[in-house]
Structure 1
């Protein structure tokens, strides 16, 4: 669910996606009581039914069960499983670029143009193929759509229709066998292997009806081969050759070498962005956030955020995070070529951060030994507590905040001295502990909680004494 920046500014609330509650009475349901055997039998039936319903209604599970895949690639059949046209292009271009580097002199004009052409064709993928056509993260004028489609063709990554269809499948079936470049199949496969070898099964279905109706996309799809060849090789060669006479540099540097970098920059979004970095919004899938990936992908490296909020036109949220594609889209909006830039509600983004932060804290908390709670301790009266404290058995029992503590192992280490604790044995030391003698810090509360041995019946009724002394806000002992 997304909403538009312009609508946020004019809406009367920062949460316009929250519906008005229904004005209906809340029903009171009486829960029937059943025996353990009946509950177990019903649970087994529900589990079997749930399994059947899951297979029946889950497209991924049903497809993986019912549709066979091609046999695995082995040393004996690999040559039959290679997608030779794509493999030749992707494997040959680095060697052609190296040949050009060793046989062609550099001209500063060509170097500058190569860098500019890298960004232009790269933005054709990131701002065009990816954020505009695959995710509809913003709206663009017809002029801008054709410009991005033309530059995107120069990146030689297939037509926008083919690219967006595969990318939508990647988001819908992330990390499953229906993901066309699943990271679970290894970094090589997700980076380039899925292009070199024939896929073992068809990618999952994805809705592309909007792409089929888009005249600009259909124009590029029909003319893709000629458009890609011209923009990738012919145009940069002629541009450098006609303007400053560097035909060889235009072809080898602005054409081939630039294409190598554009290809592997984009491929890193499918590979490196699923391996390097952290997951501040959701760790159930492989996408990760990392500034290094952002640097090599024109801002697409904050991939964990992107997979959580795919229709957001941004990849990076903070001002210092590198996302030139986001800045370019903002520029398009400023000059009137783009509109309706979509952002997910900040409240929902913060929920993702909070969920992951709490999950990390919970995992950290599992390594900590926590004190016993009320249900883990025996319940005794105040009189029984006094009797136990008078026994000469080596225990030093102190009542604080309703809990009886055995402080015998700590009394000699007490920073305030042994005498203070000794004077409170067999008594209710709540007031003294909470500021009557010393207002103890959180660490003291935590250590004290580990010394619990029992709960005093009605022990909490001394709280009114603390309020009388003015200690209304007091630390609460931490326990699991």
Structure 2
């Protein structure tokens, strides 16, 4: 049996015993033969990629509209959306400046805004776009009615764009790609006519859904009724505040709900962490989650879109998840989908490993054994006895030069001096003191040679044929 030191870069604190008779050659992995490479020219490779890649093929054969110029920009503006979205802030500001606050109106504005906001997050988004749960027919109609009150288009139109966003994230077939800038992904994509069609998606489920088709056919009247008339009448008939019902419960509420939704497309792709994957722009952040009724854990959502949750931990803010859970308890929803926990952990683990690897790149590690000369124990003793000013100590097969450390040794100079020219493996590994991981790591940085027959490293060198002629330690 021989004494050996753990050679892992993360820690040197583990001591193990390896039998001399152990044949480590069985650990050698036979490398598979490389696959034959196709002899193709760059143009052939490009043609193959385009032929088999829908995005590349579409971008090649369906060019976008001509670039905007000073002479044609007004033809490319989506004027109906621009007028609605552009006038909202001014009308709301005028209303705030000219309309007295009535507390009942403000409370109703908050409640109505919350309900119409949830109709987008729990309805358009998690129910209709991702089918992360199923709702009974009355719930579906209620969410579609409230969704019309948010004035964000029909569920059919909204879902079509959102499914394209997920399928073609960050490409030119993504209708609100974050790669085109924060303003574009927030609202710019609505103000201008699309430069090209969004990528194809499967909409057969909603095309054949009677409730969705009912909303689509009656969208204009539902927008006016649920977006403006209903809140106006509630405030007017309820406590006589018709003016506040229009400016606060209708216009100001719509302004807030619109930009809350827009933040999912913009802010959620810029602010936060890539907790589960970093291939695309979605990110997780509690600020975005707070603003968007729980939609801000967006990296999780893009990785696991069929999960009815956006937030995993109990303390993370996701009122949409809690609402869907309540729907289930009330018998309004069923088949709530959850991605397997094990697969979620894999994504989180991979990103943590990647972060650790990146952090490890700035760390200076000890020399590999292949970089160190191999000397005999007698040579080690001879070098240690010479008056060269170097303090050499053998521990676990490695010769260490502790000259620059001896005065800083917590146990004092004399303890180290007593082991110069000797094998100090046992004292270091608990014979005198059980050293910390930091002590092991610090010691590893002082390696200057490997002692023949002195430990695990030398034994491995002989097994794998790495043994070479002893080289003196440079002075």
Q: TM-score higher than 0.5 here?
A: yes
Which position in structure 2 is the counterpart of 1:206?
201
- Partner of 2:455, secondary structure, is helix
Deviation per residue, 1:184-214 (Å, 9 max, x gap): 1111111100000111111111111111121
Q: Which runs of 5+ in 2 are unaligned?
A: 1-28, 459-475
Distance 1:247 1:351, change over 3 A: same
Quote the Cα distance in structure 2 between the aligned partners of 1:182 and 1:72. Answer: 18
Quote the Cα distance in structure 2 between the aligned partners of 1:178 and 1:250. Answer: 40
CA displacement at 1:362 relative to structure 2: 1.4
Which position in structure 1 is the counterpart of 2:359?
364
TM-score (norm 2): 0.85
Contact persistence 1:430–1:462 (CA under 8 A): no
CA displacement at 1:462 relative to structure 2: 11
Which position in structure 2 is the counterpart of 1:417?
412
Map 1:107-186 onto structure 2 (within 5 A): 107-186=102-181
Quote the Cα distance in structure 2 between the aligned partners of 1:159 and 1:58. Answer: 31
Match of 1:433 among 428, 436, 441: 428
CA displacement at 1:341 relative to structure 2: 0.7
Match of 1:93 among 78, 88, 95: 88
Which position in structure 2 is the counterpart of 1:192?
187
Deviates more, 1:82-91 or 1:293-302: 293-302
CA displacement at 1:72 relative to structure 2: 2.7
Q: How many residues align?
A: 430
Which position in structure 2 is the counterpart of 1:284?
279
Quote the Cα distance in structure 2 between the aligned partners of 1:298 and 1:458. Answer: 66
Map 1:40-439 onto structure 2 (within 5 A): 42=37, 45=40, 51-439=46-434
Quote the Cα distance in structure 2 between the aligned partners of 1:321 and 1:287. Answer: 17
- Partner of 1:342, secondary structure, is coil
Quote the Cα distance in structure 1 between the aligned partners of 2:383 and 2:43. Answer: 56
Match of 1:449 among 415, 425, 444: 444
Which position in structure 1 is the counterpart of 2:466?
none
Deviation per residue, 1:352-384 (Å, 9 max, x gap): 222222222211111111111222222333233
Contact persistence 2:450–2:457 (CA under 8 A): no
CA displacement at 1:180 relative to structure 2: 0.6
CA displacement at 1:419 relative to structure 2: 2.0
Quote the Cα distance in structure 2 between the aligned partners of 1:84 and 1:91. Answer: 10
Give the CA RMSD over aligned residues. 2.3
TM-score (norm 1): 0.85
CA displacement at 1:99 relative to structure 2: 2.1
Contact persistence 1:306–1:315 (CA under 8 A): yes
Deviates more, 1:311-320 or 1:407-416: 407-416
